[in-house]
């Protein structure tokens, strides 16, 4: 926790801090009946039943200093797709030292991923402690995209869903802002210790 919070409060000079994770099993849901719009005194209404057209996994990296998001939708959620996303990040930031904050998910620690990271020494990984996903700021962003673009959407196909995700990311990046961490490790630990 001290390592991750230290990156947020005092990032290494001339380096980029990226919070990385995946939002898996995003469903392309389409309602069986059209939505009924809001009317005076009545909320928007939709049917409870839906047709499921498949899923996608969104791999995303939030740049802490700017709030910019790099995202990639993949059909599956395995180490191969995660490694493809890491390579995508390496191309997106070709000349910078990268510090990646991520959880201890098994996919993130596969031998293929570890070998690739060993071959790319400019990329440093910082794992969040177990049960501390709240330390990874991309989780905050996942909540935002869920509320604003996915949850109430209707999607006739996975392609429609991924197009909506891409449009949201593009719009987000035009208006992005830094994500500012305010608590020191000591302040966090002080609150966590129950007397």
Q: How far apart are CA 99 and CA 11, in angstroms?
A: 9
Residue 193 placed within a domain: no
- pTM above the 0.85 mark? yes
CATH number of residue 148's parent domain? 3.30.420.10
Residue 41 placed within a domain: no
pLDDT, one tens digit per residue, over 22-53 is 999 999 988 777 777 888 998 877 777 778 88
Q: How many domains does the chain have?
A: 1
Residue 192 placed within a domain: no
Backbone angles phi, psi at 53, to 5 degrees: -100, 10
Residue found under tokens 């926790």 = 1
| Least confident piece of the model among 125-134, 163-172, 185-194 | 185-194
Which residues, 6+ apart, have CB-to-CB distance to 74 below 8 Å?
56, 57, 59, 81, 84, 85
Residue 13 placed within a domain: yes
Residue 40 placed within a domain: no
Mean pLDDT of the chain: 91
Residue 161 placed within a domain: yes
Q: Residue 174's domain spans which residues?
A: 2-34+46-187
Instruction: Look at residue 21 and give its three-state secondary structure.
Output: strand
pLDDT, one tens digit per residue, over 47-81 is 777 788 899 999 999 999 999 999 999 999 899 99
């Amino acid at each position: 926790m001290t390592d991750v919070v230290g990156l947020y409060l005092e990032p290494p000079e001339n380096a980029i801090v990226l919070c990385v994770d995946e939002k898996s099993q995003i469903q392309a849901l389409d309602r069986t009946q059209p939505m009924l719009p809001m009317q005076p005194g009545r909320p928007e209404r939709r049917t409870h039943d839906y047709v499921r057209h498949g899923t996608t996994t969104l791999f995303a990296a939030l740049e802490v200093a700017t709030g910019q998001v790099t995202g990639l939708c993949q059909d599956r959620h395995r180490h191969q797709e995660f490694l493809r996303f890491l390579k995508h990040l390496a191309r997106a930031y070709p000349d910078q030292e990268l510090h990646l904050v991520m959880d201890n998910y098994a996919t993130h620690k596969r031998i293929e991923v570890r070998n690739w990271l060993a071959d790319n020494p400019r990329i440093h990984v910082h794992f969040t402690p177990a049960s501390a996903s709240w330390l990874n700021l991309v989780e905050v962003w996942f909540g935002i995209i869920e509320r604003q673009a996915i949850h109430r959407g209707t999607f006739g196909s996975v392609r429609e869903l991924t197009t909506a995700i891409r449009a949201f990311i593009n719009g987000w990046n035009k208006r992005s802002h830094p994500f500012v961490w305010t608590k020191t490790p000591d302040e966090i630990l002080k609150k966590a210790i129950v007397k």
